[in-house]
Chains A and B, each alone.
Chain A
Amino acid sequence: MLEFFRTLTNNWDIFSRGFLTTLKLFVIGAVGSLTVGTILATMRVSPVPVLRGLGAAYVNIIRNTPLTLVFAFLVFAAPKLGIEIAFEPAAYTALTIYTAAFICETLRSGINTVPVGQGEAARALGMTFGQVLYLIVLPQAFRTVVPPLISMLNAMLKNTTVAAGFSVVEAGAIQAYLSERGENQVVTLFWITFGFLCFVVPLILLQRYLERRWAVVR
C-alpha cells in the first residue's frame, strides 16, 4: 500500500511537470480554439458567399482528419517547408486548429436556436451584421451551447495526451519516464488516470451547474 503512494511521491517531479504542461496546453488550446472557432462560425453565417464556402471547407477538411495527423504534419512536415516550430507551440497549434472546427459547428447550431424575432428586432433598430451577431445573437447562442462547448473542451483536455507522442512532456508522457525508472506500470497509469479525473470531474460539475443556471427560458 505504501509502495502505491510512493510511486506518486518519489516521482512528484515528473507528475507535477507533466500535469502542469497538460494544464498549459489546455488553457492555451481552449482560448485559441474558442477564438478561431468564433471567427469560423462568423464566416459560416456571414452574408458573403465566399467566406461561407471557405469556412465550410475548413470545417469539413479538419473534422475528417485525425488529430494525430495534424500533429504529425506540424512536427515532421512543417520544418521541411522551412517553418521551424518547437514541440510545445506545435502542440497548441494542432489542438487549436483541430478543436476550432468542432467549436465552430457547435456555435453554429446555437445560432440556429436563437428566435428569428431577435435578429429581426436588431435589424429593425438599424444594426449591422456584426452588431446583430456580436451583441444580440451570439451571446444568446453561447448560453444555449455552453454544455456542448464544455464537452468539446473536455474532449480537448483528453486530446492533449496526443502531444506525448510528439515529444511534449505532459501527462501522457509520464508513463514512458516512469517505466524507465522501473516503477510499476499499473500504479503509474492509475495515478495518471486519477490526475485526469481531477481535471475532468470539475469540468463536468461546472457543465451541470451552468446548464441549470443558464438554461434559456423560452
Chain B
Amino acid sequence: MSASVLYDEPGPRARVRHRLVGVATLGLIGAFVAFTIYRFTETGQFEPLKWKQFEYEAIQLQLLHGLLATLEAAGTAAVLALIFGGVFASARISDAWIFRAPATFLVELFRAIPLLILIFFGYYVPLQYGWHISNFWALVAGLTVYNGSVLAEIIRAGIAAIPRGQAEAAYALGMQKGQVVRLILLPQAIRAMLPSIIGQLVVLLKDTALGFIITYPELLYVGKQMGSRLAFDLPYVPTYLVVAAIYIGMCAIMSAFANWLAKRGDGKRSPAPTPRR
C-alpha cells in the first residue's frame, strides 16, 4: 500500500535514489550551516562581548519585562477579541436587521483593513482630538477589532455547522432565540471551533510584535534596544536569536495544543452540516 497519491512504495533502486537525494540535501544543508557559522565567526557574532549582556540580571529582567508586556497586550486583546467575536457572531445571525446589518458591515470592514492601520487609528485619532491614549490601549484596540472580526467569522462558521436539530429541539422546549444562541449554539460552536480559535490567538500573539512600531515596549522593541547597545558591540544577531526562540517557543506550544485538541475532537465532531436555505 502506497503512503501517498503521488508515488508508489519505493523499490530497491528508488530507495537508493532517495537516499542519494537525501544525502545530497543533507550535504547542502551542512554546507549552508557551515557557511552561516563561518559568517558568524567572521563577523564576530560569537565574541563573548556580544553575549555578555545576557549574563546581567538587569538585562534578563528587561527581557522578562518585554515578554510580560507582550503577554499582557496579547492576553487583554485575546479576552476582548473573544467577547467581540461572540457578540458579533450572535449579531450576524440575529433576526433583526438593525443588529445584523451593522455587525456584518463592521466585521467585513475590520477584516479588510491592515492591522497596522487599525492600530494607527487607535493611536492617532484620540491624539487628533486631544485625548491621551497609551500605546498599550491603541495596540489592544487594533488587535481586538481585527482578531475579534476574524473570530466572529470562525464562530459563525461553527454555528452553521451545528446540526439543525439542536436549535429546533431548543425551540421546541420553548426557548427564545436569544437563549438558543447563548445556551445551545455558541457553546457548541466554540467547542467545535476551538482549534481554529486557538490558531487565531497564535496569530494575535504574533501580531503584538507590531506594537514595536508605535513604541509599545514589547519583546521585539526591547530586543531592538538591546541589539543597538554599542557597549556590547551592537549584538543585534544574538539578541534577535534569543527573541526569536522565545516567540517560536510560545507559539509552537499554542499551535501544538490546537493540533492536539483538533485530533482529540475528531471522533466527537458534530456530523456534516445540513445545507441551509
Chain B positions 219-247 with a Cβ under 8 Å from a chain A Cβ = 220, 223-224, 227-228, 234, 236-237, 240, 243-244, 247
Q: What are 9 contact pairs spanning A and B, CB under 8 A? A: A49-B22, A66-B207, A66-B210, A69-B209, A83-B39, A159-B114, A161-B116, A175-B117, A196-B113
**Given A64-B202, A189-B120 in contact, is the A76-B22 Cβ separation under 8 Å?**
no
Interface: A9 (CB within 8 A): no
How many residues of A sit at the interface, in one of the four size bands?
A: 35 or more
What distance in Å separates the Cβ of A90 from its nearest Cβ neighbour in chain B? Answer: 14
| Candidates B25, B40, B255; contact of A81 at CB < 8 Å | B40
Separation of A185 and B236 alpha carbons in the complex (Å): 34
| Candidates A66, A119, A160; contact of B5 at CB < 8 Å | A119
What distance in Å separates the Cβ of B255 from its nearest Cβ neighbour in chain A? Answer: 6
How many residues of B sit at the interface, in one of the four size bands?
A: 35 or more
- Which residues of B come within 8 Å of A, CB atoms? 4-8, 10, 14, 18, 21-23, 25-26, 29, 39-40, 42-43, 45, 112-117, 120-121, 124-125, 127-128, 202, 206-210, 212-213, 220, 223-224, 227-228, 234, 236-237, 240, 243-244, 247-248, 250-252, 255
Separation of A186 and B6 alpha carbons in the complex (Å): 54
Count CB-based A-B contacts (< 8 Å). 164
Chain A contact residues: helix, strand, loop or mixed: helix
Chain B contacts for A185, CB-based, 8 A: 124-125, 127-128
Interface: A164 (CB within 8 A): yes
What distance in Å separates the Cβ of A44 from its nearest Cβ neighbour in chain B? Answer: 11
Contact across chains for B212 and A133 when beta carbons are under 8 A apart:
no
Separation of A165 and B120 alpha carbons in the complex (Å): 12
Separation of A47 and B21 alpha carbons in the complex (Å): 10
Separation of A7 and B45 alpha carbons in the complex (Å): 48
Contact across chains for A68 and B210 when beta carbons are under 8 A apart:
yes
Interface: A6 (CB within 8 A): no
Chain A contacts for B206, CB-based, 8 A: 64-67
Separation of A201 and B236 alpha carbons in the complex (Å): 39
Q: Which residue of A lies closest to B22 (CB)?
A: A50
Separation of A160 and B117 alpha carbons in the complex (Å): 11
| Candidates B6, B25, B240; contact of A77 at CB < 8 Å | B240
What distance in Å separates the Cβ of B112 from its nearest Cβ neighbour in chain A? Answer: 4
| Candidates B8, B21, B125, B250; contact of A48 at CB < 8 Å | B21
| Candidates B10, B43, B112; contact of A47 at CB < 8 Å | B10
